[in-house]
């Protein structure tokens, strides 16, 4: 499932964040790519050791923890510390699939990449190209969201970043290990949770809501590996 989390950060917050990021040293994006992905990857990244990257990454994680849609859709167990990349002058990232397991640098912890996430940090009108293209059983989906909006999608998806031919694309990217690893099961749980919240707001029959809520939690208990 592809899910947009709108306005995770305001325009003014994004502007301040981007100004801080651009003032930092950047490295070749291949440093975080596997051998095969490195052949397709052409961009720059903020170093994983950057204190600024750590600080802004913590701000992103804090904001996500307060976002009801993200928590319901992702059911996060672990989140890889956010990374930051930039594309310009024809840079892009050809078709690839993210590594299934990623070790967190400096700690003895690994994250299963059930869900991939991209936080867009550049105004889409400020650059040409740079679409995140995701291929699934329904075809290809080209995504270019407003600055401050987040997209989450299955980590198992084949995807690419189209070359940026004008301006600069700046984003944060990271991965989520979910309590429920199967995407179709997460989608069903999200649908049920949305229905529960809607019916609750409509003051629906208490016993029917209790039955539906019980089914949701029993399915989560059955499917969760937390």
User: Is 98 labelled a binding residue?
Assistant: yes
CA of residue 166 relative to chain centroid, distance: 24
* CA dist., res. 109 & res. 171, Å (int): 24
Sequence-ordered list of residues with C-beta below 8 angstroms from that of 119, at least 6 positions apart, any chain = 8, 9, 60, 82, 148, 149, 150, 171, 172, 173
Q: Of 216, 182, 184, nearest to 197 (Cα)?
A: 216
193 annotated among ligand-binding-site residues: no
Strands (E), the chain: 3-5, 26-28, 41-42, 44-46, 76-79, 83-88, 92-96, 101-103, 110-112, 115-120, 128-129, 132-136, 139-143, 150-154, 158-161, 164-166, 168-178
Determine the Cα–Cα distance for residues 122 and 181; give it in Å rounded to an integer.
31
* Known binding positions: 96, 98, 159, 169
* Known binding positions for Fe cation: 96, 98, 159
* Known binding positions for 2-oxoglutarate: 169
């Amino acid at each position: 499932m592809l899910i947009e989390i709108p306005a995770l950060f305001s325009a003014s917050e994004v502007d301040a964040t981007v100004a801080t990021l651009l003032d930092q040293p950047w490295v070749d994006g291949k440093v975080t790519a596997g051998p095969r992905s490195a052949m397709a990857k052409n961009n720059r990244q903020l170093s994983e050791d950057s204190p600024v990257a750590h600080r802004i990454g913590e701000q992103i994680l804090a904001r996500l923890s307060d976002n009801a849609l993200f928590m319901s859709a992702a059911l996060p167990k672990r989140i890889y510390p956010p990374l930051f990349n930039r594309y310009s002058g024809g840079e892009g990232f050809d078709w690839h699939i993210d590594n299934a397991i990623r070790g967190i640098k400096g700690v003895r912890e690994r994250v299963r990449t059930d869900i991939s996430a991209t936080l867009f940090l550049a105004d889409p009108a400020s650059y040409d190209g740079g679409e995140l293209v995701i291929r699934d059983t329904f075809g290809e989906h080209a995504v270019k969201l407003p600055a401050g909006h987040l997209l989450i999608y299955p980590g198992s998806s084949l995807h690419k970043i189209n070359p940026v031919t004008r301006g600069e694309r700046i984003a944060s990217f990271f991965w989520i290990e979910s309590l429920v690893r199967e995407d179709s099961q997460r989608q069903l749980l999200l649908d049920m949770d949305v229905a529960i919240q809607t019916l609750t707001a409509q003051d629906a029959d208490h016993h029917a809501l209790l039955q539906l809520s019980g089914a949701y939690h029993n399915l989560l208990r059955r499917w969760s590996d937390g």
